[in-house]
Structure 1
């Protein structure tokens, strides 16, 4: 490999609970976080959403594009399976990035969450028990 070539990222598979929607994504995530905001809690039905961020162009639907239900607009939205309701990813940052719901990955990514965000609005019944940094809002918000 010459100095200008980048290693080819392995491709990870992901899918919804019922298997109607399947995607592939490069294992080249830029960041991974645990979000405790009320929107992420409601869309997942959980205390927080572990997600991994990647350029939207590196996420490819391989089955079930017509089975997706989008909440939002064409540029920014949450993509769910219309049959089982699984949250697959959120399209964010002016549509340029995808926040892949890590629980929908079939293959294990090389990245792990590095912090908790929006702990200022976390579920009062949930206690964070790991040593990852905690931020009241986005990273940098304290």
Structure 2
């Protein structure tokens, strides 16, 4: 009997200007579209599509000294210090990273499964897909 296969695929990502690159395992646990005002301000968009993964499965491969960190060690946003791209957020007491899906170069196997924080979404944006919508965080069932 053989052992079950483990996802060994690694995805690459980078900022707009290319100063910061990262590698992340294609082993995300969840993905969502966040409509909170902080994510909207950080991205300049109607929402932030993100994918969650254990923090130690994400590594900066180029430009680590060029990161601009907003927040503390256990909860912060990591941007490129040159172009300002939001690359990821450290969450859940520093144990997890929420990778901004728009910065991925490679296609991840996961897709967002919900819209969260729609209670504070931009009034000018209309959600038109069939994904579940939550006023705040996803409610466990």
Aligned residue pairs: how many?
A: 140
C-alpha distance in structure 2 between counterparts of 1:63 and 1:105, whole Å: 14
Where in structure 2 are the equivalents of 1:128-139 lying within 5 Å?
A: 128-139=127-138
* C-alpha displacement of 1:6: 4.2
Name the SS of the counterpart of 1:131 in structure 2: coil
| 1:121-132 to 2 correspondences below 5 Å | 121-132=120-131
| 3-state SS in 1 of match to 2:39 | helix
Structure 1 residue ranges without an equivalent (≥5): none
Q: Deviations over 1:12-56 (max 9, x none)?
A: 000000000000000000000000000000000000000000000
Distance 1:24 1:89 in 2: 12
Shift of 1:9: 2.6
CA deviation after TM superposition for structure 1 residue 70, in Å: 0.2
CA distance in 1, matches of 2:90, 2:18: 20
Aligned equivalent of 2:64? 65
Return 5+ residue gaps in structure 2 as ranges. Answer: none
Equivalent residue for 1:118? 117
Find the aligned partners of 2:89 and 2:5 in 1 and give their Cα distance: 27
Question: 1:29 aligned to 2:28?
Answer: yes
* CA RMSD, 1 decimal: 1.2
The DSSP-based 3-state class of the residue aligned with 1:134 is coil
Q: How does 1:96-107 map to 2 (within 5 A)?
A: 96-107=95-106
Structure 1 residue 11 displacement after superposition: 0.2
- Aligned residue number for residue 41 of structure 1: 40
The 4+ residue runs of structure 1 with deviation greater than 3 A are none
TM-score, with length taken from structure 2: 0.96
Secondary structure, in 3 states, of the residue corresponding to 1:99? strand
| Secondary structure of the corresponding residue to residue 128 of structure 2 | coil
Q: Report the counterpart of residue 14 of structure 1 in structure 2.
A: 13
Corresponding residue number in structure 1 for 2:2: 2
Shift of 1:100: 0.1
